Amino acid sequence: MILVWSLSVLMLFMLLTLLWGVSVKKKDVSIVDAAWSLGIVFQPLGIFLANPEKNLFQLSIIILALLWAIRLSVYLIYRNWKKPEDKRYLAMRQNDPNFSTTSLFKIFWFQGFLMLLVALPLNIMMGTSISFHVLKILPFLLALSGLVYETVADMQLVEFKQDPKNQGKILHTGLWGLSRHPNYFGEFVFWWGIYLLCLPTFWPATWISPVLMSILLLKVSGVSMLENHMKIKEDYSQYQKSIPAFFPKFPSRKK
């Protein structure tokens, strides 16, 4: 497993370096976003294929991870297609005259390092003799429900934005009426479900994955960042007061 994992890490960083070269030519670092999920699943997929003792339970987990990775990557490609460089990267470019060079380390290789940490539970499950147990059903269904939840949330947002009448408005129906960032909540649920699949044997080596994803979603590139952008939209203050930011709040039944 160690050799296969080492080779997959080497190949991952080589691919990220190639992608950096494309970004330099395009003068757009945003292309790294679509590679994020694919980079995470790249390692466990390689380990799974090289594992001579793989089983159907491991197959079901890697298929679930692939569905998550491909869906998210395709969605981000669709969302960013023919759009200018993301504001985050544009600000970094403006503040760093050598950004074309330093972005390899600041963006691509740094994200590669994060990919290694996030993929830990998948890597371990794909490289060991983990097998099905009835107690694995609940966390598997939890991860699956997170994937479905974020998929539905993204579909609702795409449909909302396609209507010109909604320009500058905020979506507050469907899953977006339960929390302000249901797509990120679904992502949160997915990775905690993946982590729980490792219990009880591998928890000391894998807890960093869901914790890191939670921090990224809540404090770094997820909720906190988008909240700043949403403040300029119509009726944001009322929307903020009535709908929670992250964890869904289901309406109470009227008696």
| Residue range 182-238, pLDDT digits in tens | 999 999 999 999 999 988 777 677 899 999 999 999 988 778 777 776 766 667 777
Q: Are residues 91 and 143 in the same domain?
A: no
Residue 255 has pLDDT above 50, yes or no: no
What is the separation of C-alpha 191 from the centre of its chain, rounded to a whole number of angstroms? 9
Does 56 lie in the same domain as 31?
A: yes
Task: Specify if 30 maps to a domain.
Answer: yes
pLDDT tens digits, 152-166: 999 999 999 898 888
Instruction: Provide mean pLDDT across the span 39-55.
Output: 93
CB 198, CB 206: distance < 8 Å: yes
- The answer to whether residue 234 is domain-embedded is yes
Q: 208 with 121, same domain?
A: no
Same domain, 172 and 80: no
Residue 23 clears pLDDT 80, i.e. is over it? yes
Let me know if residue 254 belongs to a domain: no
The residue ranking higher by pLDDT, 188 or 171, is: 188
For residue 157, which amino acid is it?
L
Helix axis angle for 137-161 and 182-196, nearest 10°, is 160
Which region holds residue 27: left if phi is over 0, alpha if psi is between -120 and 50, else beta? left
* Domain termination residue (choose one: 79, 99, 132): 132
In this structure, the answer to whether residues 145 and 200 fall within a common structural domain is yes
Q: Are residues 107 and 217 in the same domain?
A: no
CB atoms within 10 A of CB 22: 11
Q: Is 142 left (phi over 0), alpha (psi -120 to 50) or beta?
A: alpha
Distance CA 26, CA 11 (A): 23
Averaged pLDDT for residues 98-117: 94
Choose the final residue of a domain: 77, 107, 132: 132
Please give the model's pTM, rounded to 2 decimal places. Answer: 0.91
Range of the domain at 94: 1-132
Q: How confident is the model at residue 22 (pLDDT cuts 50, 70, 90)?
A: very high
Q: Are residues 111 and 176 in the same domain?
A: no
pLDDT at residue 253 above 70?
Answer: no
